[in-house]
Amino acid sequence: MKKMWIALTLGLSVAGSQALAAPDAQTILAASDAVRNPGKPFGLIVSLVGYKDGQENERSALAVYSRADEKSGQYRSLLRFVSPARDAGKLMLKNGNDLWFYDPASKASVPISPQQRLLGQASNGDVVTVNLALDYTAKLDGEEDIQDGDRQTRHCYKLRLTARNGGVTYHAIDLWLDKDGYRSRKAKFYSESGSLLKTAYYRGYREALGRERPSETVIIDGLNPKWVTVMRNSDYAWREVPEAWLQRDYLPRFRAE
């Protein structure tokens, strides 16, 4: 009888620990993607401001139109440069892991790298909509208390993300997410050599298209912390994103509405 009781107690203990165990790391990552990315075609404005040594030195704004591919689930995006005036009308297209830049002046579309810097510390790959769960393999590295972008203490899951292929923006990412709600709070981005490229803080969560999403990302250079870029998301709206807009051959014919 005593042995049966011990066995039952151990069984309940194991079952209880399993029930309290953290969700699968890939599931956590996919849930964080859903926080950042609306589930239907949408548009928004992305504004970028670069600072060096505390002084603003450049700024830009882009209109972004995104929709998820029905087969792969990965987002495809068309980005239209709004400002500064010298760049207005230029386009960037993301289709899968392919990225093109189109300049109306030359009427040529050329392939570009997602790692290439767009403005300050923000790369081309930082402004297009991505599903990290499709591009990276996630591993749960435990739980940590961190300081978020507003210097508030957050208890987070820490995920280690490793690229599934060479076409993505970063070779590896450390990502900290709220245990409750899976909101991204902090990320560190690494090169293939393991060097820290940049650190990002996600903040300003506000209601947008049905749920709270980060309205601001502060990106800090991995070598010089006095080089900072602030990326702000605004003017979210459900909208049609025609298939034609997402084709490279259509770029010369695109007209902003």
Helices (H) and strands (E) in the chain, counts: 4, 15
CB-based contact 199:223 (threshold 8 Å): no
DSSP 20: H
Inter-residue contact 120 to 229 (CB < 8 Å) = yes
3-state helix, strand, coil in the chain (%, to 5): 20, 50, 30
Residue pLDDT, tens place only, 136-186: 999 999 999 999 999 999 999 999 999 998 889 999 999 999 999 999 999
DSSP conformational letter for 3 = H
Half-sphere exposure (Cβ direction) of 30: Cα atoms closer than 13 Å: 9
Task: Report d(CA 56, CA 229) in Å as an integer.
Answer: 9
| In the predicted structure, residue 43 carries a pLDDT above the cut 50 | yes
The tokens 């790959």 sit on which residue? 125
Residue (of 165, 134, 142) closest to 33 by Cα position: 134
The phi and psi torsions of 115 (rounded to 5 degrees) equal -80, -20
- The two tokens of residue 148 are 């978020």
CATH code for residues 25-253: 2.50.20.10
For the chain, the structural domain boundaries read: 25-253
Name the pLDDT band for 22 (thresholds 50, 70, 90).
Answer: low
Residue-level pLDDT at 16:
44
How far is the C-alpha of 39 from the C-alpha of 34, rounded, in Å? 7
Predicted confidence (pLDDT) per residue in 45-70, tens digit: 999 999 999 999 999 999 999 999 98
